[in-house]
Structure 1
Amino acid sequence: MKYVLLLSSFLAISGCSISADEPPLAEQRSDLLDDDSDGVINARDLCDDTPGVAIIDNDGCPTYLLLESDNSLRIQFANDSANVEPAYREALDKMAGFLKLYPETFLELQGHTSSLGSDDYNRNLSVQRAKAVQAQLIERGVPVDRLTIVGLGEGDLMLADNTETTQLVNRRVVGRVKGFKGEIKEAWTIFTQREQ
């Protein structure tokens, strides 16, 4: 028994002193760096600045949640007028805040008129209305390059008859947000709490 222990000790000590040749290093043929640490290498990553908390797709881009929110603006005008009434301040503030919060979006302002007047006059008036709304948003800090104007005149009437109520409904500027994808879907972590 003594000899077995002595022999195994000798083998253990001598095994430690024997050195194996170092394994060869593999040659790296592609850039496998991942600068934004999202798990997708730079060569395949289409979104360079993915937030760390986002669930990403195979291209390294964040997944978005579609939100049930109204991202539009609607302002009515008096007959033959391009003045924005003070009653729309809150709606304009809300839209300006939304555009500041989501800098990848822009707003298309579609000017409309009722059917009274000539086509040329109404098209010009619809542009003036859209520009009046644009000016209000610029005053609230929205950059002009994020606001597009479309003058539709009487080309897109909501209601076609000539009653006063119908004419009022048609005299409007509608702002539609473009480029909004929704909120980023966040990845699950050990700190994520379950919804109750």
Structure 2
Amino acid sequence: MELTRSGSAGAPKGFMAVIFRGAEGEGAGVVTQASGGILMRFFSDTSGGGDRMRVLPSLPQPEQTRDHARTGAGVAADLDLIARAFGLNVAQIAEVCGGVTRPTVYAWRDGSAPRPAKLTRIHKLRRAALDWERSGFGVPGTAMTAPIIHEKNLFDLLRADPLDLAAIQFAGGRLAMERELATKRTFADPFR
């Protein structure tokens, strides 16, 4: 069955409803957020009668409440991961987390919850650190301050706002390639 868009319908504020019709008159409708990212409801009328529509339940919404004890432990683990992956000290961690102070970083490690914007930044840095470790790039060491992309170094990329995860991953690939090319290799003579 091939469906074509036949129109749109009213939906709650911030949502969009689209009606589709098939060749035989059957219809389907989708109600989504305007971003198109979350499917809220799907209903179908295969008989052509409006009295036989099915409404499937909405997808569950993620829980919005915060467990402050878990947040503190999670932030400390995230900061440790970021420091380990990129070889950063506390002052550098403070700088890449959005220009906070070292005492703030120590407070986060002791269980204090960061503000939402800083928490979001820490989670993005965590994502970058996980990608870095999974790619096997290793600790950058002195390469942290070497120009990599348009005269920017890895530390500049980690401090950038917004954080560009693809650029950080690209920088890791470039550093790994440079490290590989700098390694001296000797080849065994296969004819001996």
Q: Which bin holds the TM-score, normalised by the shorter protein?
A: under 0.3
Compare CA radii of gyration and give the structure with the larger one: 1
Q: Which has the higher helix share?
A: 2
TM-score normalised by structure 1 residue count: 0.21
